[in-house]
A and B are shown apart, each in its own frame.
Chain A
Amino acid sequence: MNKKHLKKKYTEEVGEIRIGLGSCCVAIGSSKVQQELENSLVETGIQTQVKRVGCVGMCHRTPLLEVRPPNQKPILYDKVQPEEVKQIILKHYKPKSFKKRLTNVAIGFLENILNDNHSNGFIHHSINTRDPQIESFLGRQIHIATEYSGQIDPLSLQEYRSKNGFEALKQCLKEYSPEEIIENIKSSGLRGRGGAGFPTGQKLQIAHQAQDEKKYIICNGDEGDPGAFMDRMILESYPFRVIEGMIIAAFAVGAHEGFFYIRVEYPLAVERVKNAIYQCEKTGLLGENILGSGFSLKLKIFEGAGAFVCGEETALIASIEGRRGMPSFRPPYPAQKGLWGHSTLVNNCETFAAVPWIIRNGAQAFSKLGTDKSKGTKVFSLAGKVARGGLIEVPMGMTIREIVDEIGGGIENGRQFKAVQIGGPSGGCIPVELADTKVDYEDLTKAGAMMGSGGLLVMDENDCMVDIARYFLTFTCSQSCGKCTYCRIGIHHMLTILEKICAGKGTQSDLQKLEIIAHKTKQGSLCGLGKTAPNPILTTLTYFRDEYEAHLDGICPAKRCRDLISYAIDDSCIGCTICAQRCPVNAITITPYQKHSINQDLCTKCGTCKQVCPTESVVIL
């Protein structure tokens, strides 16, 4: 197949077509769309450039295709199906030869006849970037770590450089001393994005001052929070930016060797970072004597093996050393004594990604954004029951309500906003009454939650808060490394109590027990895992105590806990037998044209009948 013209460079004459190839896009089928696009271009002889771009952020509308015809306004198509691709490009481009044009018209004509959906086949999908919905999704966002989101090819070094990429590095190597870089980062007010929010400049300084002939640098891309994906998107979409930030930081502290610690569950991120490192080595951006400065740095990838606690820096270091990932007591901090006993700078990948921007635009530009103590922007993965989920970057100080309503477009299906879970297993649930809380390290901690790595999960009235607490405790219980007694046994004990409550067998004294153990576990644990694991319980107990109490009476208000609900069929049933056919345990007898009923002894509460019922006659009691 002749694909030569696909590689044509962007010029005014040919324009370009951008296709999003982040993980969400690929999962929903953008690689099929890409294939179809390439085939259609070859078939029609249309000349244009196809460009794969990283995550656009609008993960709720994938696959995304942006057509930028020459001298015309760009148009973004969402939820593109492979079948629609040809129609879309023919709408903007004319096929090359007259003969091809003719056959395309004929085919289009035939397709019109055969497929009467054509007229509204894709047009309703096309969205102008000035579409009010898109505008409010993108409008309040400020892209620093995710600069050029949806515009650059993740693996094109040339393109990254053409957009000021590696300029900051050049500046640092040629003009600044390590001390000046550290001073710069300090005055920008950048704080660690990995969770705890430790001032990055200060950490650099500690590592810089460490008297050690050998130093290491580690990029933490472990992202253990089971409901967050920003580190993945940053590594997948902006590998060069993270590498640039790492080289600058390594130069500032004097490290010559480093690691990317990436979760093994993120194969695409591993692949792209590997490729990016390779390209940098080839072009003298990594390795010996970087850009002729005399400074050298070697980077390697280390794949994690599925342990949440390995996101904790000392456990992460143990893991690279080939041991069980168990945290150790700090101080000494890794910046003083880390990997193989040497000074080691550990930072989150989002922290590194912000560094080049700060150098290029100045510390002031960064510290102008945000609140008093939390500067700059934060990337969140917005998911859950929100209408428009995705990867977003907002200035610190924005309120949770603004994020959910303006960027997220409110709750999907018009249901009631109930709470957000922020910070993953270490964080907490913030109820809608406190939705005006600002996104700020201190304010979130005051509310009982935590910035964490940046997972933001929106919940509606159908989510049971006791169940959420139980869910997180199941997670932390399985992830506790077992070193501290309170973490190992305390979490397990709290989980047992929560399971009892979810089964409707809890008592008032169980709630008190929960509180006591929660506080003891916080005090008696060495690392952040045990210290923060009780947060989901404590916040839900504070803000949703009535829900716990309802469970004591055997009622799950959100109708979620399986032991406390039952399924039934109401009078609107038309007797279509679909539910009876689909019931996996034959709990519904096939009685055509008669109201069906569910045999409660057989029912396993799998919910299938509710999903398939065309008249919404299945109710939960």
Chain B
Amino acid sequence: MILDKDNIYSDIEQIVSEIGTAKSAVIPILHAIQKKYNYLPEIALRRICDTTEITPASITGVSTFYTQFRHTPVGRHLIYMCNGTACHIKGSELVYDAFLRELRIKGNQDTDPEGLFTLQKVSCLGCCTIAPVVQIDDVTYGHVKTNSVSKILQDFISYQGKKVEQKTSEKKIY
């Protein structure tokens, strides 16, 4: 996705016209921006402040308070590793480490070097009976073990491959 200013401005215009310009619209607007770009680009946030009643203080306050909002770009796919209680007692910590290793994510980062996957811990995906659970974009995997991590990534990529083939018959890299 190319983030050029004009594109962003026209996206913002559309989002604001759908949701509204009131101060109370801030959370729905942030959701809409994040749905669009997978994170909150600063220039989009500035534009919101210019075109609505929302102040920079309010948008910064709100977007940093809620854990759902991200201020840094993400990889092409998001991996939500459940860190809920049920998953925790079934060893989700070890699975998380296995994903870090498998994707070669180092240090304080959360995205692999190729920019393909971003790994994020979330609390409870609501499928606790099949813990540990991991969700990649919209695909959920249950009963995940440390040694099934690479299989899951492969499965997901082939699933994506199929989706892409169906849509554009374009070959998938990786």
Q: How large, as a class, is the contact surface on chain B?
A: 35 or more
Q: Are B126's CB and A264's CB within 8 A?
A: no
Interface-centre pick from B86, B94, B129 (highest chain A CB count, 10 A): B129
Contacting chain A: which of B2-10, B26-34, B166-174? B26-34
- Identify the interface centre among B31, B68, B88, B131: most chain A CB within 10 Å of its CB: B88
Give Cα distance in the complex from A582 to B69, angstroms. 36
Asked if residues A471 and B126 are in contact (CB atoms below 8 Å), the reply is: no
Q: Is the CB of B85 within 8 A of A229?
A: no
A443 interface contact, C-beta 8 A: no
Specify which chain A residues have a CB less than 8 angstroms from the CB of B154 in the assembled complex: none
- By Cβ-Cβ distance, the 5 closest A-B pairs, closest first, are A227-B85, A305-B66, A226-B123, A306-B68, A27-B140
Bound together, the chains give a CA A308 to CA B67 distance in angstroms of: 10
Chain A residues contacting B142 (CB-CB under 8 Å) are: 24, 27-28
Q: Nearest Cβ in chain B — how far from A404, in angstroms?
A: 14
User: Do B65 and A325 have beta carbons less than 8 Å apart?
Assistant: yes
Q: Are B89 and A385 in contact (CB under 8 A)?
A: yes
Return the contact of B130 from the options A28, A468, A582 (Cβ within 8 A): A28
* B129 surroundings in chain A (CB, below 8 A): 24, 59-60, 382-383, 389-390
Q: How long is the Cα–Cα vector from A541 to B79 in the complex, in angstroms?
A: 36
Q: Are the CB atoms of A229 and B127 closer together than 8 Å?
A: yes
B45, CB-defined interface residue at 8 Å = no
Distance of B118 from chain A, by nearest CB (Å): 16
Indicate if B51 sits at the interface (CB-CB under 8 A). Answer: no
**A472, B86: Cα distance in complex, Å:** 12
Chain A neighbourhood of B90, CB < 8 A: 384-385
Q: A226 touching B84 by the CB < 8 A rule?
A: yes
Listed residue (A227, A229, A463) with the most chain B CB atoms within 10 angstroms of its CB: A227
B124 and A229 contact, CB distance less than 8 A: yes
> B residues within 8 A CB of A302?
27-28
The answer on a CB contact under 8 Å between A322 and B141 is: no
- With A421-B85, A457-B85, A584-B101 already in contact, the answer to whether A319 and B27 are too (CB < 8 A) is yes
Contact flags B126-168 to A (C-beta < 8 A → 1, else 0)? 1111110100000011100111000000000000000000000
Inter-chain contact B83/A607, CB cutoff 8 Å? no
Q: State whether A227 and B124 are in contact (beta carbons under 8 Å apart), knowing that A322-B58, A455-B85 are contacts in the complex.
A: yes
Instruction: Given A302-B27, A302-B28, output 15 extra A-B contacts at Cβ < 8 Å.
Output: A24-B127, A27-B127, A223-B126, A228-B124, A229-B126, A305-B69, A307-B65, A322-B27, A323-B62, A381-B128, A459-B89, A584-B101, A608-B98, A611-B147, A612-B147
Residue of B nearest to A389 (CB): B129
Residues of A near any B CB (own CB < 8 A): 23-24, 26-28, 59-60, 62, 223-229, 232-233, 264-266, 302-308, 319-325, 381-385, 389-390, 421, 424, 455, 457, 459, 463, 468, 471-472, 475, 478, 481, 582, 584, 604, 606-608, 611-612
Chain B interface helix/strand/loop/mixed = helix
A-B interface pairs (CB < 8 A), number: 147
CB proximity to A under 8 Å, residues B100-132: 101, 122-131
Q: Is there contact, CB below 8 Å, between B126 and A266?
A: yes
A478 to B121, CA, bound (A): 12
Residue B91 is within 8 A (CB to CB) of chain A in the complex? yes
Nearest CB in chain B: distance from A428 CB, A: 13
Question: Known contacts A227-B128, A265-B126: does B28 contact A303 (CB below 8 Å)?
Answer: yes
List 19 A-B residue pairs with CB atoms under 8 Å apart, sorted by A's residue number. A23-B127, A24-B126, A27-B127, A27-B142, A59-B129, A227-B128, A265-B122, A305-B27, A305-B66, A306-B67, A307-B66, A319-B27, A322-B62, A323-B58, A384-B89, A384-B90, A604-B97, A606-B98, A608-B146
CB-defined contacts of A325 to chain B, threshold 8 Å: 65-66
